[in-house]
Amino acid sequence: MKIGELATRTGVTTRLIRYYEQQDLLEADRAANGYRTYTEEHVERVSRVAGLVQAGIPTRLVKILIDAEDAANREDPTCPREVAEQLASELVGVQARIDCLTRSRDSIRKFLTATQHKVLLREEQEATAAV
């Protein structure tokens, strides 16, 4: 598939896909004419990278995580101490963001429950359960 289809399937812009390539987070195959071509594995990779970036992980650490996952998939789960320290440090920030989002979610639910808009809360919960 071409970059436009990859963008459509992942919800990631073509510009961002090219940026991922520049950051060595993604490596496109090349057709004889030099055009980028992508496979289903690229769809999964772009989705994974985008999810990590959206979670607030800096691209330099996304690269480390992706490389570590690739090594584990090859049954070569090596992780230098320096990498482990970077990941552990990032984990603190990720947990802080999760805690903040949890508090925000709980505040919104509490407000909706306390108002005449309680029905919206049930709709949100039903929509979430359907996914």
Name the band, by pLDDT with cuts 50, 70 and 90, for residue 77: low
Same domain, 87 and 61: no
pLDDT for res 125 = 75
Domain closes at, from 78, 99, 122: 78
Same domain, 65 and 88: no
Same domain, 46 and 92: no
Can you read off the two tokens belonging to residue 35? 């055009």
Residue type at 119? Answer: V
Residue 46's CATH number = 1.10.1660.10
Same domain, 56 and 43: yes
Q: What is the largest CA-CA distance in the chain?
A: 63
Domain of residue 57 covers 1-78
Same domain, 97 and 72: no
Q: What is the mean pLDDT of residues 97-101?
A: 90
Same domain, 60 and 25: yes
Note the pTM of the prediction, 2 decimals. Answer: 0.65
Tens digits of residue pLDDT in 19-49: 999 999 999 988 899 888 999 999 999 999 9
Same domain, 23 and 2: yes
Can you read off the two tokens belonging to residue 73? 């998939």
Can you read off the two tokens belonging to residue 15? 């510009």
Q: What is the DSSP letter of 22?
A: H
Same domain, 2 and 52: yes
Same domain, 45 and 84: no
